[in-house]
Structure 1
């Protein structure tokens, strides 16, 4: 979404979990990784900062320093408030989408990270589904004043939050939000951005 926002051409190359250590000679333990000519950048936020600094003549992702530091808050909100509930709702779906070597990696790495088997994590998913909408109340109140977190048009803060809900959409199905929920309406607007880029990824 950030690359499309900047109007930059790019080639996307998906990899399985077990192939990540082979990308760019082990440059990063996680994806995404951006190669721009001879430059390599890891981490979604750092990639966005790089794009804004390297291509200042193209549409801004942050709208200035204030937008950049406030986007860190949105990142923290997404990671601390949304990621674990989405994980609980999606974890078995993700496992079942993987080939056998990646299923084995996924089980072991999530046990190490979460301290319990993925079935035990998934068992908490129904409860998270019931309370998920309430977690988004700060976003809902913000969208009462404007169509995007960035104001009249999206900024990287929108793409951060959109990424969490899109992650759920493509692994476990649509976020558990009513059609008339302002957050769901915002999510639909984000799916339509950049000629429907978000909708090109098949939903679960």
Structure 2
């Protein structure tokens, strides 16, 4: 059985950039489950699988469709319990929920402002129009103004990583000696920035940079299969 993962891409279909898709790609690899990636554009998402979702990732596993990266991870854990665990029990699930909240409330908004024009410029014209309209409605100002505010985020981004930096002083991964889904959550955010933007958010010699390099090497270097912008 071939699993199909629908992944958000721009004009270059070989460079899926969604942070949530990257969580799922590493989750599937963690479980040792083969899958094929089907790239989709923003405006194509509502047409997927007869309107099955408004978001990606969307995973087709046989006759099962699952969307949302956390729900997909829960599904994989329940459906393939004999494969390596993504959570290592209830505590790991609770930790992942906390990490997801921190990542999406702290890292994602900053990366979104820093990279907003980079994302726009990598899209087809029809998707650029959608992206501009939807993001300007979300932010309440033009994309260019959002990008300008992203300059301040560049200066403060390293400080936002301090909780992760502290934890990595004691262990190589958030999951301990090896990665769990919590690692993939934060990796997905930083991989998003790495793929779409030429701004470098991590400094050499930082424990977070070392952790990110370890994550890029996981599962046969899956994270390195797409080069940095």
- Normalised by the shorter chain, which TM-score bucket? over 0.9
CA deviation digits over 1:78-105, x for unaligned, max 9?
0011011101110000000011000000
Corresponding residue number in structure 1 for 2:226? 201
Corresponding residue number in structure 1 for 2:209? 184
Aligned-partner SS, 1:40: strand
Which of 117, 123, 126 lines up with 2:151 in the alignment? 126
Aligned 1:1-204 pairs, distance under 5 A = 1-173=26-198, 175-204=200-229
Aligned-partner SS, 1:12: strand
By relative contact order (CA 8 Å, sep 6+), the higher-ranking structure is 2
Structure 2 Cα separation of the partners of residues 177 and 96 of structure 1: 23
Gaps of 5+ in 1: none
Q: CA deviation at 1:202?
A: 2.4
Q: CA deviation at 1:176?
A: 1.8
Structure 2 Cα separation of the partners of residues 128 and 59 of structure 1: 37
Q: TM-score, normalised by structure 1?
A: 0.98
Change (3 A) 1:117 1:174: closer
Structure 1 Cα separation of the partners of residues 49 and 200 of structure 2: 34
Name which of structure 1's ranges 153-162 and 22-31 shifts more when overlaid on structure 2.
22-31
Q: Is contact 1:174-1:203 (8 Å) kept?
A: no
Change (3 A) 1:156 1:174: farther
Q: CA deviation at 1:173?
A: 3.1
Gaps of 5+ in 2: 1-25
Corresponding residue number in structure 1 for 2:15? none
Structure 1 Cα separation of the partners of residues 108 and 221 of structure 2: 24
Structure 1 stretches of 4+ with a deviation exceeding 4 A read none
Q: CA deviation at 1:106?
A: 0.4
Structure 2 Cα separation of the partners of residues 80 and 109 of structure 1: 19
CA RMSD of aligned residues (A): 0.8
Q: TM-score, normalised by structure 2?
A: 0.87
Structure 2 Cα separation of the partners of residues 75 and 108 of structure 1: 27
Structure 1 Cα separation of the partners of residues 198 and 188 of structure 2: 14
Q: Is contact 1:95-1:106 (8 Å) kept?
A: yes
